[in-house]
Amino acid sequence: MKFLGVTLASLGLASAASVAKKTSYDDWKVYRVNVGSHAAEIENVMSKLQLELWKGKPSTSAVVDIMVPPSAVKDFEASTADIQTEIMHENLGLSITNENSFGEYVAARGAAPSATWFNSYHSIADHMQWISDLAAAYPNNAEVISAGKSVEGRDIKGIHIFGSGGKGSKKGVVWHGTVHAREWITTMVVEYAAYQLLTSTDATTAGFKNTYDFYIFPIVNPDGFAYTQTTDRLWRKNRQKTPLASCVGRDINRNWPNRWSQRGGASTDPCDQTYKGPSAGDGVETKALKAQLDSIAAGKGVTLYMDIHSYSQLWLYPYGYTCSGVVPNSAKYASLTRGAIAAIKAVHGTTFTGGPICSTIYQVSGDSVDYAVEVAKANYSMTVELRDKGNYGFILPTAQIVPSAEEMWAGLRYTLNNL
């Protein structure tokens, strides 16, 4: 779901269409800034130095995480001398190097996946193969599906998991991961959930297949994800052209055709990280994901839709577009959220915060969660922000993949068991 940014074209980063070589973040720093009464001052510094926010909005957040290039570090530190700050990444390039070592999967291709998959991050090609291998290993309960094609022609590939009665016989549960390309941990966590549904011998988990049809998409932004691996690790949006030739990409989670153009909920700047697109639902991936969700809704219906993001450790529910509106059945949403957060904490002690999207973090318009509940008529529609709270942010070490997946599975399992 994250994050608001300012124009990056002058930095030659993220949104510049002409970028061909791999973006270097050597000696870049990430600062956590305590906003306090300094919101206007922080916004002025960001505008002057053309900086990007990783997390929050100065106008509404207690803290914000800001990425600063080497050329701006001296000016940034001088400009924020009277504001409490701490360094989250001393050298962002080194943090990326330490994180960015893909696990070997070539030798295992075609075989039933094992839990060792979750010990490291992987290339997009290996992720696509892993989905196929998982479905092939459990042909009586799974099949490979596609929501359609991306801007660059990649499959938006997923896995359909089903039980008694055969595929499509139950109401749907839909999970999306890697909407924002740089959120690599979400890919792994969504895959872990699919793996648990098919491999767990726990009676409750195994029984979920007989209650719901699961439509699970670990990477719904494959072009952006591929771009993070070849060119810019911190790319967020899709790779679609915009009206401004120098800037690329829409934020898929600001482009859904519902409550699309709400003041304060998205950006109109094609260079911005939260750019909503020229028109509602015009994103190539958005169209495909919308059509796929609509088809499930028109069939047996959608019991649960979940959009998995990172970072901040939040469990959220509608609405995003308004802070004053209250979602129907809000008491049940709140109860499910409390239970899921407790289940998560019981695994590794990780603390999540819950509540409505808008009032808990900030306003978001044109998002999938509001679309799912208002248009697709999902019984429940939620989103989460995974680990961590900013020590690593988007660059979460591989050692945290399994713990993050385990605790989130506990939250998902609680939710499924208490709908």
To the query of whether residue 99 is one of the catalytic residues in this protein, the response is: no
| Cα 278-369-160 angle, rounded to 5 deg | 105
The reported pTM is 0.93
One DSSP character per residue, 87-148 reads EEES-HHHHHHHH--PPP-GGGTTSPP-GGGGGS---HHHHHHHHHHHHHH-TTTEEEEEEE
Catalytic residue (choose from 183, 191, 285, 385): 385
Query: Is residue 267 packed enough to be buried (19+ CB in 10 Å), middle (13-18) or exposed (0-12)?
Result: middle
pLDDT reported for residue 102:
83
Q: What share of the chain is helix, strand, coil (3-state, %, to 5)?
A: 35, 20, 45
Distance, in Å, from the CA atom of 374 to the CA atom of 152, rounded to the nearest integer, reads 30
Where do we find the tokens 């916004």?
Answer: 43
The topology (CATH level 3) of 115-231+262-417 is Aminopeptidase (3.40.630)
- Assign domain 29-100 to a CATH class: alpha beta
Sequence spans of domains, the chain: 29-100, 115-231+262-417
pLDDT reported for residue 14:
40
pLDDT reported for residue 87:
96
> pLDDT (tens digit, 9 = 90+) per residue, 138-164?
999 999 999 999 999 999 999 999 999
Alpha helix positions (H), 209-329: 222-230, 284-298
Distance, in Å, from the CA atom of 134 to the CA atom of 195, rounded to the nearest integer, reads 8
Contact 413, 297 (CB under 8 A): no
Contact 134, 198 (CB under 8 A): yes
Q: Could you tell me the two tokens for 197?
A: 């549904």
Where are any strands of DSSP class E within 171-301? 172-176, 213-217
Distance, in Å, from the CA atom of 74 to the CA atom of 393, rounded to the nearest integer, reads 23
SS3 234: coil
Which portions of the chain are predicted below pLDDT 70?
1-20, 100
The secondary structure of residue 322, as a DSSP letter, is -
pLDDT reported for residue 100:
65
The secondary structure of residue 396, as a DSSP letter, is -
Identical fold, 29-100 and 115-231+262-417: no
pLDDT reported for residue 3:
37
Contact 179, 307 (CB under 8 A): yes
The 10 Å CB-count burial string (b at 16+, else e) for 308-317 is bbbbbbbbbb
> pLDDT (tens digit, 9 = 90+) per residue, 327-348?
999 999 999 999 999 999 999 9
SS3 287: helix
Q: Could you tell me the two tokens for 265?
A: 């909920």
Distance, in Å, from the CA atom of 333 to the CA atom of 317, rounded to the nearest integer, reads 7
Which amino acid is it at 74?
K
pLDDT reported for residue 59:
85
